[in-house]
Amino acid sequence: MFQIEFDNQDTVVGIDLGTTNSLVAWMNLTKPEVIPGEDGEKMVPSVVSITPEGEAIVGNDARRELIDHPARTVYSVKRLMGRGVDDVQDELKLFPFRVAEGSESVIRLLLGEKTLTPPEVSALILRQLKKNAEAALGTPVTKAVITVPAYFNDAQRQATRDAGRIAGLEVLRLVNEPTAAALAYGLDKRREGVIAVYDLGGGTFDISILKLHDGIFEVLATNGDTHLGGDDIDNRLLKIAIEDIASEWGEDISHSGEAVQTLRASVIRAKEALSFELSAKIEFSWHGKTYHREITRELFDGLIKDIVGRTLGPCRDCMRDANVTPEQIDEVVLVGGSTRIPMVRSAVEVLFRARPHTELNPDEVVALGAAVQAGILAGTVENQLLLDVTPLSLGIEIYGGVVSKIIHRNSTIPASAGETFTTGVDGQTNVLIHVVQGERELAKDCRSLARFDLKGIAPMPAGMARIEVRFLIDANGILNVTARDARTGLEHSVDVKPSYGLTDEQVEAMIEASIDHAEEDYQAAQLAGARVDADAILAATAKAQKNDAWLALTDGDRREITDAINRLQLAYHAQDHNVIRAQIDRLNEVTHSLAEQMMNTAVSSALKGTKV
């Protein structure tokens, strides 16, 4: 494992890099605190605007630019992190800014005369947070813990690390947002428990179910809606107000960006007031005219009932995926400013049958948790678990010699993850589990850690068995690998120490080798996968040729299938996976009639002697 050494002067901050707003926090003696900016505001809007002179503006000033210069202003950049243009077509339709020509795998945003990648935009936000922290603490800040959504994949996490590096920050850890929220409430002090983290922010909704075991947080399941949040509530109230104004004044103000944004600000103030009061007023003045509208809590609840209801479906799905019931959930944590709304809190309490934690500011709870983790790393928080990271990916060898990565490089430990695999041969009763470490695509190029047999699997047709493989790395870096036959419950496990015998230089060399050989590794993995699929379809076709359905085909159909088999067998040893795939597709196509005939034969056999 990498060991990070700190001197006594190190100040490590925790950062919540959010879709709508971002915050920075630190451990102030005994408790975490959010650090305000020079304007006294703790939340920095995650908005960046580029002036005609090419200067970057961040935060509230940038948000004001959004009204007059939307094409030069970017927001919600978190949605674009680590993703290609093809991945975010739906999101890009909603944004006023454009993507530069030639953007494909790497998105480049065109902001005036300047182009920036999402990590570069995020770096500007991080740089502002860094500046705020340095001004408040009076010391340089170069190290940080940054939170990310639990569902972020490796590319999105790496993009976040890149943003930190560009901003001049050494990102010591990436911590899952729900885990940070649990840390902020000190829930890691429980030895066991199931925790639900309900996160309703401005633009997104996330629900995560965590399992805590001996200080280890495991994300059992996540769900949510990337286009659901407090903004939907604001837009609902804004639409009503605009319709009211059109009716009263005989004027449509929706075409004036300045008028709409001014009215939106009044709507948001009224919404926030309704979290604490039984009624609130929307007040708006424009060009000598004034609009007043009083909204009661009862009316407000009726207006947003369906929006709140849309969050409950993902919650139920998440519990089902985690295989838990509401009664099994021990703690519920609320995150995001929209969870202040009484109706939201009530709906969460009814669904999970537990009173949610509301003691901490829901806007700040993730940043506070990140600060706790930062304090642990800096040594200012004692007697708490120090979460390390695994320097190389861990996985198992699957068919074709390809590696299936189960715990990825830079994952925070303690960590737990698993996947379900199946057998490749009819009647298979044992499986060899080969545990490997490294970043290469093929097992032969990775470091072998352990091998063991799972014996006594129930004999079944290929692809029917379910072998659950789970990796668990404890706080000491010990990896426990368990393989379990889901049908019989039979299991076998082994303990290994992934980092044993590796120096930091060797780890770096392995990472560099994976980068240097990325293209050839990808091609080798594709080739191995194509040959595995070819083996499967050739075996299935050979089996089908022994069926009565084969004899029921026309001579022409049989010749066509035989020819396709021969072509695939010839292509099998080609070094281009596309050549093999083309012949697999051809054999798939010409065996449709055989599959249909086999189905007809099976149905006829089943109905033989049966009166309908």
Percent of the chain with pLDDT over 90: 35
pLDDT tops 70 at residue 60: yes
* Among 131, 121, 24, 124, CA closest to 78: 121
Out of 48-57, 207-216, 416-425, 536-545, give the one with best mean pLDDT.
Answer: 48-57
The predicted structure's pLDDT at residue 307: 96
Which listed residue (42, 78, 211, 405) is catalytic?
A: 78
Confidence of residue 344 (pLDDT cuts 50, 70, 90): very high
* Among 396, 400, 409, 405, CA closest to 452: 396
Mean pLDDT of the 290-305 span: 95
Out of 216-220, 316-320, 416-420, give the one with best mean pLDDT.
Answer: 316-320
162 labelled catalytic: no
The predicted structure's pLDDT at residue 498: 55
Residues 6+ apart with CB under 8 A from 166: 119, 120, 123
Q: Could you report the per-residue pLDDT of 251-274, keeping only the tens digit for each? A: 999 888 788 888 988 999 999 999
CB neighbours of residue 590 within 10 Å: 18
Q: Which domains does the chain have, with CATH numbers?
A: 12-181 (3.30.420.40), 230-303 (3.90.640.10), 390-516 (2.60.34.10), 519-607 (1.20.1270.10)
The predicted structure's pLDDT at residue 128: 96
What gap in Å lies between CA 204 and CA 223, rounded to an integer?
Answer: 11
Higher pLDDT, 200 or 85: 200
The predicted structure's pLDDT at residue 610: 40
The predicted structure's pLDDT at residue 249: 93
Q: Which tokens go with 589?
A: 């196509």
CB neighbours of residue 201 within 10 Å: 24
Q: Could you report the per-residue pLDDT of 122-166, keeping only the tens digit for each? A: 999 999 999 999 999 999 999 999 998 877 766 788 889 889 999
Q: Which tokens go with 516?
A: 């240097």
pLDDT tops 60 at residue 488: yes
Confidence of residue 536 (pLDDT cuts 50, 70, 90): confident
CA distances from 544 to 535, 537, 584, 596, 602 (A): 14, 10, 16, 11, 12
5 labelled catalytic: no
Confidence of residue 25 (pLDDT cuts 50, 70, 90): very high
The predicted structure's pLDDT at residue 156: 82
154 labelled catalytic: no
pLDDT tops 80 at residue 89: no
The predicted structure's pLDDT at residue 508: 62
Higher pLDDT, 405 or 508: 405
Higher pLDDT, 506 or 59: 59
What gap in Å lies between CA 507 and CA 392, rounded to an integer?
Answer: 7
177 labelled catalytic: yes
Residue 301 burial class via C-beta count within 10 angstroms: exposed 0-12, middle 13-18, buried 19 and up: middle
Higher pLDDT, 10 or 494: 494
The predicted structure's pLDDT at residue 13: 96
Confidence of residue 511 (pLDDT cuts 50, 70, 90): low
Contact 41, 430 (CB under 8 A): no
Which listed residue (10, 16, 439, 445) is catalytic?
A: 16
The predicted structure's pLDDT at residue 476: 55
CA distances from 377 to 130, 175, 601 (A): 18, 12, 67
The predicted structure's pLDDT at residue 356: 95
Q: Collapse the DSSP code of 552 into the 3-class scheme (helix H, G, I; strand E, B; otherwise coil) and give the result.
A: helix
Q: Which of 137-141, 469-473, 596-600 has the lowest mean pLDDT?
A: 596-600
What gap in Å lies between CA 277 and CA 298, rounded to an integer?
Answer: 11
Which listed residue (10, 120, 177, 364) is catalytic?
A: 177
Summary mean pLDDT of the chain: 84
What gap in Å lies between CA 40 and CA 465, rounded to an integer?
Answer: 60
What gap in Å lies between CA 178 and CA 234, rounded to an integer?
Answer: 25
Confidence of residue 87 (pLDDT cuts 50, 70, 90): confident
Q: pTM for the complete prediction?
A: 0.64
The predicted structure's pLDDT at residue 311: 96
Contact 16, 147 (CB under 8 A): yes
Confidence of residue 603 (pLDDT cuts 50, 70, 90): low
Residue 309 burial class via C-beta count within 10 angstroms: exposed 0-12, middle 13-18, buried 19 and up: exposed
Amino acid at 193: G
Q: Could you report the per-residue pLDDT of 430-460, keeping only the tens digit for each? A: 888 888 888 888 888 888 888 888 888 888 8
The predicted structure's pLDDT at residue 315: 96
Which listed residue (10, 199, 206, 232) is catalytic?
A: 199
What gap in Å lies between CA 283 and CA 267, rounded to an integer?
Answer: 8
Residue with tokens 């008028």: 259
